[in-house]
Chain A
């Protein structure tokens, strides 16, 4: 097996389409601009905040029966619904057209690492902005920058209750008898940085939660730091002291997040997650060590971490033991079928929904609705279940003919989809298929296409 096909499967969506095919070129391609985000935009940060503000204000006015409020609210609802149609299409369109497929895979990885879900239509613009405003700009930079952007993003503060966390001895806390919510502090330590096996204690969680007070978000006023909600005094977390006895500042939160980003346990925790996501459900210890070492030496430079992973011999192990997650499976299948980004953007709901969103529901990965802040499971066994596999088979047998009226010859299609990773068994089966639809379906339903 040549390394190039293996790398396109492990770090992309398979060999179909224009893309770099060796380790150095894959890394080099990430250094360029994020052209797919520009080609298929969703929402800018100011637009997202404006939509959320208007949605909140007009909704409130409508409940107060103010004149004209209903029409105004319906207008903003229609704008958000348009975004609701555009956002998932844009994500798939980027996968179709990207000449840097690793960037799209990384986007899904980091979105899962910082898992969240929004409540209701009003939360949708913030989720779109979380991807395009907090994750994508920082995927090839320093982890510390991504950590600041994601932890303090409105959607994360809403999802993990930071907006309800108030210093008990702060001005607001004393006046209204309110207190801390530790949810964000705990999950940042447990999931986003040093990991549940890390050396933090309940006292660190508590102190971090106190440090975070003041950071908040409201639909009307946007993200902001309110000193009156901040617990007075400095906090000691993981042995270091942050903040000052006097007035609380957002900069003190930033200082701790910066330290957390380069903490050796953060390096180890995320190195392992990268290795598990991209290489193996049970990664070789020296692969994890190499990524963690690069992380520590570069102070959390993500390109250095990716380079250590892609350059490692384990990345060239010919055993593909993982399963493509449902979104990757559908993305890879559509890309292999030659569906173009523009066609995805223009797709009617009656095709786009069954091809993507409804299929994701049935395959067990409802779009942007993970079960909790710990994100989607990685193990192949979590996805290749009776329900998961039968929905993939059903997709493989029915959707290609709807997505691409002129289906390719299955014997060619198997080459496009899998190159030389196709087994003799699969080649034989494709040859024995009694129709083109069945032959193409067999390729997409095969273990080889569902593994990575």
Chain B
């Protein structure tokens, strides 16, 4: 029970109290031995990898999706990127954007969002008991490097980020958490909370988080980021990505947030374009805000499962298995699509309906961590992704 309660708290809101983590009151500590940056974006709802990165060179593709291919994609050889990803084409050309196709977690069969996301974020195989799925693989990565400061990792946004939850300290931030009260209200709240340390410290930290959220606007980088976030509007993904970029530019090394809207059972042509546009927007915000640090950065965007190869009766797709993951950043060896293409003939499909997974998303994440942080293979295969066989180095980083 104690372990559960502890993990819950890490997973739930904000793991750190002011007393335990002095960075908020003093000068920010350097973030341990790491210099590279890793951003994990969880695409909740099951992104259709076959639409994000269309295998137009496969003769069976067009026939499976007559109603989904309205606007032509951006040609990348055998594949074509969905038109909503057009803003990322310069990154592809510069070798800062790549994909892995026909990938999945070990999750099979039931195609439940909840179970699929749990397994994606736990990073375990299906043979692991439920109990073991309660901390996330990014948190286990942090656990391998003792002495990191609490600001090393940020879970960003309102969604629970199980991928970062666990015993290692992690800070949570969301636009709603930052407390911006001014003037008289602030004075009176200070007065009210003065005598109750629990309230006093939580309020203080919330106000500090608000200040953290404000990017530096003096430098050109900061001004460009602030401008981009300001143009994004109230609920924009740019707020999340902009906060991540500002923290990562400074002392944070790992950030995770999620994007929704991928569960495109109907009118996929409308839904997925918007979500892919947000994903592109998030990546470009990160690039702008990271400035020179972009060169040390890897962004992994991954989802709980792909979707059916054939479109359904409502111009959408249903829950499937194999899908795609997106890799971006200056540290990435982009301009390539990793993975082995299994083909789309009916006999090639998983259960005659889904893209057959030929690679494990965890292996790509593991190789990224190996390259970025020097994490040993044995640790990755035993502790961070228990039971994973990383296989040969796919060469996803420069």
Using CB atoms and an 8 Å cutoff, list the residues of chain A in contact with chain B. Answer: 65, 119, 183, 195-196, 323, 361-362, 364, 371-372, 374, 377, 379-391, 393-394, 397, 423, 425-426, 428-429, 432-434, 438, 441-442, 445-447, 450
Contacts and interface: CB of A to CB of B under 8 A. Distances in A.
Given A387-B174, A429-B188, A447-B196, 15 more contacts: A362-B176, A371-B8, A372-B8, A382-B13, A385-B14, A386-B177, A386-B179, A387-B206, A388-B202, A389-B206, A394-B179, A429-B192, A432-B184, A433-B188, A441-B185
B196 A371 contact: no
Of listed A65, A391, A426, A450, residue having the most chain B CB within 10 A:
A391
Interface string B246-259: 00000000000000
Interface in B193-236: 193-196, 198-199, 202-203, 205-206, 209
B203 A364 contact: no
Q: Which of B11, B185, B188, B206 has the most chain A CB atoms closer than 10 A to its own CB?
A: B188
Per DSSP, are chain A's interface residues mostly helix, strand or loop, or mixed? Answer: helix
Given A386-B202, A386-B205, A387-B172, A371 B11 contact: yes
A423 B196 CA distance: 12
A364 B181 contact: no
A364 B14 CA distance: 10
B199 A450 contact: yes
Of residues A361, A386, A390, which shows the largest number of chain B Cβ atoms within 10 Å of its Cβ?
Answer: A386
A181 B185 CA distance: 54
B381 interface: no
B contact patch SS: helix
B174 A384 contact: no
Contacts of B69: none
Nearest to A65: B313
Contacts of B147: none
Contacts of B199: 384, 389, 447, 450
B184 A434 contact: yes
A391 B192 contact: no
Contacts of A390: 176-179, 203, 206
Given A361-B158, A374-B4, A425-B195, A387 B184 contact: no
B12 A377 contact: yes
Interface residues of B, number: 41
A371 B192 contact: no
Interface in B141-193: 158, 160, 172, 174, 176-179, 181, 184-185, 188-189, 191-193
B378 to A, nearest CB: 30
A442 B1 contact: no
Given A386-B202, A387-B176, A447 B14 contact: no
B192 A426 contact: yes
B5 interface: yes
A196 B14 contact: no
B17 interface: yes
Contact of B8 (A377, A385, A389, A441): A377
B176 A389 contact: no
B112 interface: yes
15 contacts: A372-B8, A374-B5, A377-B8, A381-B9, A382-B9, A385-B12, A387-B172, A387-B177, A389-B199, A397-B185, A433-B188, A442-B188, A442-B192, A446-B192, A447-B195
A283 B215 CA distance: 45
Most chain A CB inside 10 Å of its own CB: which residue of B14, B172, B185, B209:
B185
Q: Which of A384, A387, A423, A433 has the most CB of B within 10 A?
A: A387
Contacts of A446: 192
B1 A385 contact: no
Contact of A393 (B172, B181, B195): B181
A447 B4 CA distance: 27
A381 B18 CA distance: 12
Contact of A389 (B130, B203, B313): B203
A282 to B, nearest CB: 14
Nearest to A442: B188
B78 interface: no
Contacts of A377: 5, 8-9, 12
> What 4 A-B pairs come out closest when comparing CB atoms?
A387-B177, A386-B206, A390-B179, A390-B206
A398 to B, nearest CB: 11
Contacts of A433: 184, 188
B114 interface: yes
A231 to B, nearest CB: 21
A377 B184 CA distance: 34
A48 to B, nearest CB: 21
Contacts of B313: 65
